[in-house]
Amino acid sequence: MAKFAKLIVDQDFVISPIDKRIYGSFIEHLGRAVYTGIYQPDHPSADEQGFRKDVLKLVRDINVPIVRYPGGNFVSNFFWEDSVGPVEQRPRRLDLAWRSTEPNWVGLHEFSQWCKKADTQVMMAVNLGTRGVADACNLLEYCNMPAGTKYSDLRVKHGVRDPYGIKVWCLGNEMDGPWQMGSKTPEEYGRVSYEAAKAMKLIDPTIELVSSGSSNTQMPTFPQWEATTLTHNYEFVDYVSLHQYFGNRDGDSNNFLALSMEMDYFIQTVLSTCNFVKAKKRGKKDINLSFDEWNVWFHSNADEEDITENHPWQIAPPLLEDVYTFEDALLVGLMLITLIKHADRVKMACLAQLVNVIAPIMTEKDGTAWRQTIYYPYLHASKYGRGVALQPVLSSSKHDTKDYTDVTDVDSVAVWNEENQEVTIFAVNRDLNDAIDFQCDVRSFAGYGLLEHIVLTSDDLKATNGPDGEKVAPVLATDSKVEDGIFTARLHPASWNVIRLKGRG
Ligand code: AHR
């Protein structure tokens, strides 16, 4: 049968307004994310505070709305008091998660200044691993209380008169993982997160709290972890976190590009569990999802083990510096499409991470900052994926892979930005061999014409970018068109497509 893909985009088929925070990211004190990543006072592009302006520009171009900080595994033995106050008085600490030395040259204050420059918000995580309720409360008091109490006055003494006003707080990180400092059973985490959440909302009722979900779907306690922990803390939390990393470990690209179906299934399972807990509690509120770690991650695994095991306690060693291929960018695009399709319940998501560590942006210590292949789908989704997610009524030819059946050749979703009179259709052709005729019925958007059709493609699935140039960069399609409300294009085999339509009103 001939391969095809047909999509109906209708302004009445609304899934939900998209919370812009689904285009968030993550900076952990890990490897070179902070030191020689966002911060390097001796770099030629450093500003007066030591932040690399070349990195800031690439971050600002993406328009990242929220950045999770300071970890990750790092947070589970983080002593926040060491990261504030006069820099020269801050102690060095052993970071047990990554067996590195943390010099605390950048802490809460510096990071929040960086966020201002990057035009983004902080999503703060508290240590519920080796510490607990009191320390979480003290940190929140330091950050969000105006003045007149021990920790708010300490902040003022540190020269920061106005509270940081951090809105989103993660209650620990991957607390089910045996690799986590202070990991917990579901009962233990349920109890401590309930107590922390209750106390934190007494200090600042305007904050939003994220309960730590399973580290991934392969954890033995998934999804009972979510059921047990949310049963404990339902009353006080607003979101549960999801984490998922994929890799093409056995070199099967067809199978790799089907993995976004796994992400979809993960989201559905966690949503069902949230709804189950809501029903059990006779509750009124939905627990929404914060997919606050997602990406491709597998290229760097061996190097990382060598450094942490054989060369520990370095400051900012190169860790998790995956160099992404073109096919990784395709999967990142498919994952973004999956997140947008769930915009009604996925309200936050963080591409993990942002700079140098499994990241879209890389730096050379003595050189330039450059864009990985995955930078582009992330940029396009964040730039053009603001507005209302529209239900994709999609019919596509399908194929089977090693682990998945009925994988659609094309996956797609559309976003309507009514204010800008723009409709953007994101589509991936994950068929590696054949171009596919894509037809999209946009008749409900009368008068909308084609603004541009951006394409990211390559004949080499393993093509990478680097400091000296980009083998994978977007181009414009020339033979796409809209006629009588029908958009038509031939989607290149293995391609990420961003089709932008504009109203003429
Ligand atoms: O993002 C890298 C690490 O992956 C994070 O520190 C941890 O939360 C996850 O396992």
Tell me how far apart the alpha carbons of residues 319 and 303 are, in angstroms, rounded to a whole number. Answer: 7
Angle between helices 53-62 and 108-118 in degrees, nearest 10 = 60
Tell me how far apart the alpha carbons of residues 90 and 85 are, in angstroms, rounded to a whole number. Answer: 7
Q: What is the pLDDT of residue 112?
A: 97
Per-residue pLDDT of 364-400, as tens digits, reads 999 999 999 999 999 999 999 999 999 999 999 999 9
Q: What is the pLDDT of residue 144?
A: 98
What pTM was estimated for this model as a whole? Answer: 0.97
* Residue 160 pLDDT greater than 80, yes or no: yes
* Token output for 241: 């976190």
Does ligand 1 lie within 6 Å of residue 95's CB atom?
Answer: no
> Average of pLDDT values for 322-341?
98
Does ligand 1 lie within 6 Å of residue 28's CB atom?
Answer: yes
DSSP 298: -
Per-residue pLDDT of 19-33, as tens digits, reads 999 999 999 999 999
Return the active site residues.
Answer: 174, 293
Does ligand 1 lie within 6 Å of residue 71's CB atom?
Answer: yes
Band of the pLDDT at 304, cuts 50, 70, 90? confident
Q: Is 312 exposed, middle or buried (0-12, 13-18, 19+ CB in 10 A)?
A: middle
> Average of pLDDT values for 338-348?
98
Ligand 1, atom 2, residue with closest C-alpha: 72
Does ligand 1 lie within 6 Å of residue 304's CB atom?
Answer: no
288-296 vs 346-351, strand pairing mode? parallel
* Residue 448 pLDDT greater than 80, yes or no: yes
Instruction: Locate all alpha helices (DSSP H) within 234-345, ordered by sequence.
Output: 253-256, 260-280, 301-310, 326-341
Q: What is the pLDDT of residue 305?
A: 77
* Residue 505 pLDDT greater than 70, yes or no: no
Per-residue pLDDT of 126-159, as tens digits, reads 999 999 999 999 999 999 999 999 999 999 999 9
Ligand 1 centroid–CA 362 distance in Å is 18
> Average of pLDDT values for 418-443?
97
* Residue 303 pLDDT greater than 90, yes or no: no
Ligand 1, atom 1, residue with closest C-alpha: 352
Q: What is the pLDDT of residue 168?
A: 98
Band of the pLDDT at 441, cuts 50, 70, 90? very high
Percent of the chain whose predicted confidence (pLDDT) is above 90: 97
Q: What is the pLDDT of residue 306?
A: 84
Measuring CA to CA, how many Å separate 168 from each of 69, 138, 207, 347, 495? 11, 16, 6, 12, 35
* Residue 502 pLDDT greater than 90, yes or no: yes
**What does pLDDT average to over the chain?**
97
Does ligand 1 lie within 6 Å of residue 352's CB atom?
Answer: yes
Ligand 1 centroid–CA 294 distance in Å is 10
Collect all residues with Cβ–Cβ distance below 8 Å to 165 and sequence separation of at least 6: 143, 144
Higher local confidence (pLDDT), 505 or 424: 424
Band of the pLDDT at 192, cuts 50, 70, 90? very high
